[in-house]
Structure 1
Amino acid sequence: MKKILMTLGVALTLFLSVSCFAQNQVEAGQTEGQIWAQLKEGAQGVTTSTGQEHAQLINTYDLRVFELRSDLLAPALMAALFGMIIIFVLFVKVNGISKLHGGFSGKLVYRWSKFDVSIHWLGAIPCLLLILTGLTLLAGRFFFQPYVSDGVWASMINAAKLIHDYMAIPFMIGWLLMSVLWAKNQMPKMYDLKWMMVVGGYINFGPFKGKHPDAGFANAGEKMWFWAFALFGLVISASGMLLLFPSLFEPSRTLSLIALVLHSVSAIIITAFSIVHIFMATVMSEGGMECMVSGYCDENWASQHHNLWYDEIKQNGTLKYKE
């Protein structure tokens, strides 16, 4: 009998304890809910912080921006990089590349100075590293982190952050020099419309096959890439400086988040254009890569892809061959 009474007493005590605990949890949850609702409505408190938002404990606008970044911008950057690569691989498989109809002439025509080649790579190499590290920083936790250990992920994200920060300045220098020095050859012309209508003559089937539209020093596709790079490179550089040196510019939290979104959107656009540019220079156009290696191009390449520029330098006597 005593054992039964003791058992009932222990059970009753446990029941009352659990009931009290549950009631306290409910009350605590209600209190937290009330506090959260008040904070969302802009309730302010007291803190020793001296920051611009020291009286506002929760910024709901920030949360919406973070959701935009994770739900939309991160997948968009992945699509811009890997999606464009897949599209171009399939395109080359179906269409083939643009070959030189007369083959290589063996004569190399001067096109870019050594300084031009240098500033191209000054912008290009950091740009590629910024794309890869930016992809890791923006989207890595969604697409890479689940498949690696915590130690590997920590090393990846730390290396990506360091490389991204250190490559920013060389990229901006290269962007500035290219934008200023190359703009004169990138102005739109009426014949660029015809170039666009036949996709530059790079299509090897249907009504587009065998078409070689007129092009000056830069064709319409190169001009589109240049102005996209110049415009969105400006946005990336300005927003990047704001994010890289917050103590220097002292931006508000809202301005920092706007800069982050603009930085990400511009990076997505430049990434997509970069993949197109790389494929066109290295794969699609036979002989095209030589231009940014030595500064010279094959004479047949010049007459086939940039006929107006080639005719011009022949007529004005500035045609110069590599010795």
Structure 2
Amino acid sequence: MNTWFTQIGLTLVLMFSAIGLAQAGSLQGAEQPVATEGQIWSQLQAGATGETSSQSQFHNQAINTYDLRVLELRSDLLAPALMAALFGMIIIFILFIKVNGISKLHGGFSGKLVYRWSKLDVSIHWLGAIPCLLLILTGLTLLAGRFFFQPYIPENVWAGFVYAAKQIHDFMAIPFMLGWALMVTLWAKNQLPKMYDIKWMMVVGGYINFGPFKGKHPDAGFANAGEKLWFWAFALFGLLISASGMLLLFPNLFEPSRTLSLIALVLHSVSAIVITAFSIVHIFMATVMSEGGMECMKSGYCDETWATQHHNLWYDEIKENGTLKYKE
């Protein structure tokens, strides 16, 4: 739903309403006045209804006056916020890395790889991660493209681009929801808050390379405080984006009212903004910011130095209970 389609829809409603009234006036006599567009619009805003063969709720209502407020919210707030969540966070991280540098492993790589994630866990991660990235990019096109990209793209190219984005977005929704459900179910036990997470937050996890934070490596278990924050944000907003997405993807199945559909659209957009911002942070931390971090989700193993530096309590625990296992 966008402003262009809404304007066309309103024009058609007004045009056919005016034609119908004009025909009625001609049948009943020339003295019957024809309603003006302003009068018709006033009636529509007041909730005027018509006749339809559909039996679904609200189908006889020509327009929901909430529509325009949601469109304004989309163009003035939601679309710019999603752009900022994606490109703004990328710019911030690039500048931060230029000033701060990355978190290097003290003493370098040990050459010993410690078992951390099972093959199933790695598969589940990518089951959620790949659709998530595609949903972010296609969702950006659908939500904000009308305002930020379309003016610079030929109309025929833009039409094909939007159509492809919509198809990919709909197709990727199901594997994303499956990945989300498996992650939340299987990983929640390692994401519970601990008291030492507060200290981790206070020193920004030891990733600051200057001032009083330099060289600080706070305690962390299997997941550090930053990862836990991302996990629970993903769990909550993943639930909202999945539930609202189902309403929007299968309207004939759930038959939501038009107002509920608009609320779902707003919740879907807000959840997308939050998940996008956190995803950029997560991607930068895993691929660039933390030396050796990406290996965890490639092979399921991490370097021993990385384990002792970033997740020392977890490393001590598996070493003590005999579950420490190296890659052969």
TM-score above 0.5, yes or no = yes
Match of 2:43 in 1: 38
The alignment partner of 2:36 has SS state of helix
Does residue 270 (structure 1) correspond to residue 270 (structure 2)? The answer is: no
Question: What CA deviation, in whole Å up to 9, does each residue of 1:133-185 have, x standing for no partner?
Answer: 00001111111111111111011101101110110111011100000000000
Q: Which amino acid aligns with 1:139?
A: A
Among 319, 322, 325, the alignment partner of 1:317 is 322
Among 252, 256, 260, the alignment partner of 1:255 is 260
Does residue 116 (structure 1) correspond to residue 131 (structure 2)? The answer is: no
Among 69, 72, 94, the alignment partner of 2:74 is 69
Q: How does 1:89-168 map to 2 (within 5 A)?
A: 89-168=94-173
Quick one: structure 1 residues 97 and 150, their matched pair in 2 at CA, closer, same or farther if it must change by over 3 Å? Answer: same
Aligned residues: 296
Match of 2:23 in 1: none
Q: Which amino acid aligns with 1:141?
A: R
Match of 1:7 in 2: none
What displacement does 1:72 show?
A: 0.9
Q: How does 1:131-210 map to 2 (within 5 A)?
A: 131-210=136-215
Match of 1:54 in 2: 59
Match of 1:227 in 2: 232
What displacement does 1:86 show?
A: 0.2
Compare 221-230 and 66-75 and name the one that shifted more: 66-75
Distance (whole Å) between structure 1 residues aligned to residue 64 and residue 177 of structure 2: 32
Structure 2 alignment gaps of length 5 or more? 1-32
Distance (whole Å) between structure 2 residues aligned to residue 315 and residue 57 of structure 1: 69
Quick one: structure 1 residues 306 and 45, their matched pair in 2 at CA, closer, same or farther if it must change by over 3 Å? Answer: same
Match of 2:217 in 1: 212
Distance (whole Å) between structure 2 residues aligned to residue 55 and residue 170 of structure 1: 36
Match of 2:292 in 1: 287
Match of 1:11 in 2: none
Distance (whole Å) between structure 2 residues aligned to residue 248 and residue 30 of structure 1: 38
Quick one: structure 1 residues 29 and 283, their matched pair in 2 at CA, closer, same or farther if it must change by over 3 Å? Answer: farther
Distance (whole Å) between structure 2 residues aligned to residue 138 and residue 299 of structure 1: 43
What displacement does 1:52 show?
A: 2.1
Q: How does 1:73-84 map to 2 (within 5 A)?
A: 73-84=78-89
Percent identity of the aligned residues? 86
Question: What CA deviation, in whole Å up to 9, does each residue of 1:269-292 have, x standing for no partner?
Answer: 000000000000000000000000
Does residue 296 (structure 1) correspond to residue 301 (structure 2)? The answer is: yes
Q: Which amino acid aligns with 1:184?
A: K
Distance (whole Å) between structure 2 residues aligned to residue 148 and residue 44 of structure 1: 39
Residues 197 and 220, structure 2, Cα contact 8 Å, conserved in 1: yes
Residues 138 and 169, structure 2, Cα contact 8 Å, conserved in 1: yes
Quick one: structure 1 residues 105 and 29, their matched pair in 2 at CA, closer, same or farther if it must change by over 3 Å? Answer: farther
Q: Which amino acid aligns with 1:316?
A: N
Structure 1 alignment gaps of length 5 or more? 1-27
Q: Which amino acid aligns with 1:241?
A: M
Distance (whole Å) between structure 2 residues aligned to residue 46 and residue 305 of structure 1: 66
Q: Which amino acid aligns with 2:245?
A: G
Match of 1:24 in 2: none
What displacement does 1:84 show?
A: 0.2
Q: How does 1:235-250 map to 2 (within 5 A)?
A: 235-250=240-255
Give 4+ residue runs of structure 1 displaced > 6 Å after superposition.
Answer: none
Distance (whole Å) between structure 2 residues aligned to residue 65 and residue 276 of structure 1: 29
